[in-house]
Structure 1
Amino acid sequence: MAYNLLKGKKGIIFGALNEMSIAWKVAEKCLEEGAQIVLTNTPLSIRMGKVEAFAEKNHIPLIPADATNVEDLNHLLKESMRHFGGKIDFILHSVAMSLNVRKKRSYDDLDYDFLQKTLDISAISFHKVLQCAKKLDAINEWGSVVALSYVAAQRTMYEYNDMADAKAMLESIARSFGYIYGREKKIRINTISQSPTMTTAGSGIKGFDSLVDFADRMSPLGNATAEECAGYCICLFSDLTRKITMQNLYHDGGFSSMGMSYRAMHQYNKSFDTEKD
């Protein structure tokens, strides 16, 4: 069901790759709720994914940009404002990648060059987006910027590796920049700590399917899906959340408040029964 929550609003969506991407679901929901959008991703991701076909089908501009490159970001923002005929109202940052994870380097044996790339792509790029937007005065007052995070920023999660450090930095940037942007421009900045979601990137993490199952057993409401996350993003982009800023907002079915659930304990006890057999 559509509510026209974003009617007349304009925004930029970073990170849509294919139908599995949360950013893809957000883009679909933005259109459904009446927004105009621009899509962006790296040239390599555009070639590898299906976002070009999505943009063509929906008559949406697709502007290639490396989120770690300030020149690319300035070009993206200027072209977006030119396309819209004015400033933008919202941005989704859904950008993350770890070479240490991809190369299966454990946390106590990190490649530090890889670590620098993890932090630059997954966290510092968020600061670059915000700084470029502020210097260009690209976002309307009461605009909204959202980045996707994960509970590993606060808790140790098996095999999440250096991405946990990146998510912690991401959330810190949202708070620090949120204060400045809110004070000066009334622009709000938040992060969403989403349930583990089986995206193309997530599926590359060792044991991720088990993590998804564990979180689902622990969460009283079950895992939040990509589609449900898109709905939450829409709410944060809308005028209904004008006074929410500098927050890390858990969207995880209650997982972040749990210690042990009945389903998880039941499965745990069953493992001992199996051992006896």
Structure 2
Amino acid sequence: MLKIDLTGRRALVAGVADDGGFGFAIAKALAQAGAKVCVGTWPPALGIFQTLLRRGKMDESRKFADGSLLEFEKIYALDAAFDTLESAPAEVRENKRYKEQGDFSIAGLAAQLTADFGEQPLDIVVHSLANGPEVKKPLLETSRAGYLEAVGVSAYSMVSMVAKFAPLMKKDGSFVSLTYMASERVIPGYGGGMSSAKAALESDTRVLAYEAGRKYGVRVNTISAGPWASRAASAIGIIDAMVEYASNNSPLTDPMTAEDVGNAAAFLVSPLAAGITGTTLYVDKGYHTMGKATDARYAPPGDPGRNA
């Protein structure tokens, strides 16, 4: 039987702080396929995340079909806004939520992985990171600082991670990130420069696939996921409306799940996708194909949307 087999491979999933987002679903799918999974967690959320795990609050979501639980090989502190510890402002480094975490930068995590597992400790890296401090503001009202932070954390961090983690990867290593339709379509309410950040992430995916592919032999892809009401996405303020609209207007109207994205990611980083790189893979129930809403009020006779 043809199956996804990641046995003997180690994955780093950056951007896991709870069990409600795509990062957690991808981590679970990778583990189910046989990979050892490490995660990188934002320092202010790290303590709460570890406490929830220790107290069994996530046991239900960690459970596999056979009753066993998802286990993380290591949980690291990671703030992908900083390439090196020195680049973090003093007020961040001295903050009590950061101070005890050691080197929480991207370079610091690369060094820690090597210290823990030796040379070339990675096979898979997942970038599940995004932040736009002004995401609720229209682009016209977004400050330069808010725009640059959105692009820096949500897009440039992928560039930095490929630069620092690709040398740590074994042959045929694979990167995957998460993007969204706002990169190429107008999504009113998804502001603060986040649409620009996602467009940059997709463009960088193509360039990184070429540069890192030639230099290190790794693959780089991104998944354009449909809207999902994770805890992080709730910060947008319109996520429920986005989910409902996408469901009502997609070719497949059944609700999208985080597992859909997790399974797609497991495929993309597996040997089954060895010929795929520089690609944006849509996992959105076909929503990206639509050029017209299926509002029944405007659907002509015979249009499937008439009965939606």
Scaled to the shorter chain, the TM-score interval is 0.7 to 0.9
The answer to whether the 8 Å contact 1:5/1:234 transfers is no
CA distance in 2, matches of 1:268, 1:48: 48
Judge conservation of contact 1:148–1:194 (CA < 8 Å) in 2. yes
- 1:164 Cα deviation (Å)? 0.5
Across the aligned residues of Structure 1 and Structure 2, the Cα RMSD in angstroms comes to 2.2
Shift of 1:151: 0.8
| Unpaired runs of at least 5, structure 2 | 63-68, 85-104, 300-308
Q: Which has the higher helix share?
A: 1
2:257 — aligned with what? 225
Contact 1:16 1:40 in 2 (8 A): yes
Q: Aligned partners of 2:28 and 2:165: how far apart in 1?
A: 24
Partners of 2:297 and 2:267 lie apart in 1 by 36
- 2:277 is equivalent to residue 245 of structure 1: yes
Residue 237 of structure 2, aligned match among 206, 209, 229: 206
Distance 1:211 1:31 in 2: 30
Counterparts of 2:268 and 2:216, CA distance in 1:
17
* 2:76 alignment partner in structure 1: 63
- In the alignment, which of 107, 122, 132 is matched to residue 164 of structure 2? 132
Q: 1:76-124: per-residue Cα shift (whole Å, max 9, x none)?
A: 12322333344211100000011112xx322211122111111111111
Residue 267 to residue 195, structure 1, CA distance change in 2 (3 Å):
farther
User: 2: distance between equivalents of 1:240 and 1:176?
Assistant: 22
Between the aligned residues of both structures, percent identity stands at 27
Counterpart in the other structure of 2:173: 143
5+ residue gaps, structure 1, are 270-277
Q: Judging changes above 3 Å, is the alpha-carbon distance between structure 1 residues 29 and 179 closer, same or farther for their aligned structure 2 residues?
A: same
Tell me which moved more, 84-93 or 120-129. 84-93
TM-score of the pair, normalised by structure 1: 0.88
Cα separation, 2, equivalents of 1:158 and 1:50: 36
Preserved CA contact (<8 Å) 2:4 2:267? no
Q: What secondary structure, in the 3-state scheme, does the structure 2 residue paired with 1:253 have?
A: coil
What is the aligned residue count?
Answer: 262
What corresponds to 2:22 in structure 1? 22
The amino acid that maps onto 1:183 is R
Q: 1:257 maps to which residue?
A: 289
Residues 42-53 of structure 1: matches in 2 within 5 Å? 42-49=42-49, 53=53
Q: Are residues 62 and 234 of structure 1, via their aligned partners in 2, closer, same or farther at CA, if it must alter by over 3 Å?
A: same
Distance in 2 (alpha carbons) for counterparts of 1:3 and 1:45: 35
CA contact (8 A) 1:40 1:65 kept: yes
The whole-number CA distance in structure 2 between the counterparts of 1:139 and 1:193 is 24
Is the CA contact 1:52–1:62 (under 8 Å) kept in the aligned structure 2?
Answer: no
In structure 1, distance between residues paired with 2:50 and 2:248: 32
Distance in 2 between the 1:125 and 1:110 partners? 21
